[in-house]
Chains A and B, each alone.
Chain A
């Protein structure tokens, strides 16, 4: 149980285009999903917290107009990188918290999406 999928796993796009990444909780409902960005050999940086049915909460320094987040259902959150540039190339990882989860509040992570902007 507690599987989170991401699609696509890898995407290459041209500079100036927009890319949508999907994060799905496959066997549980997630009121809260998180989007992280990981730079090579670095830790995960939380970008935003996505709440079902409401606006996402962005971390300081993350442009909300650049990284659009939609959490339209209890099993799906999407991250759209708008007008992508080479500096947006990174590994994007989502995680989901089970709404029925007990105290550990553990997050279940997706496998990540490697974005390369040419």
Chain B
């Protein structure tokens, strides 16, 4: 079945870049997503990338997709304390486009 894997923790200094990595298994996924979850809250869609793209940039966020290796990354430039959260990558699955989530990467930003 589908599986999405992420590293669990990342610590960066404020102002540095953060790179969060994800691997997925379903090569037929049309879109891949990045969600952000702040403590005690639901998930907020950060960005997504269509499977025929290699890169997508949206302000401080850059998504890189390597379809050959089934590897997805999210780069946050100039990381701020407000970026501290859990970041989930997700791929759709099934006829209803249900989402399969990775375990989430907890990003901690320190001064």
Chain A residues with CB under 8 A of B101: 43-44
The bracket for how many chain A residues form the interface is 20 to 34
Inter-chain contact A110/B42, CB cutoff 8 Å:
yes
- The chain A residue sitting closest to B102, CB to CB, is A43
Chain A residues with CB under 8 A of B40: 112, 114
Q: Which of B41, B92, B96, B102 contacts A111 (CB 8 A)?
A: B41
**Extra inter-chain contacts (7) besides given A43-B88, A103-B50, CB under 8 Å:** A32-B96, A34-B98, A44-B88, A105-B30, A106-B45, A106-B48, A111-B41
The 8 A CB mask of A1-42 against B (1 = contact, 0 = none) is: 000101000000000000000000000000010100000011
Judged by a CB distance under 8 angstroms, whether A109 is at the interface is: yes
Judged by a CB distance under 8 angstroms, whether A46 is at the interface is: yes
| Contacts of B47-99 to chain A: CB distance below 8 A | 48, 50, 88, 92, 96-99
Knowing A43-B104, A44-B88 are in contact, say whether A107-B42 is a contact too (CB < 8 A).
Answer: no
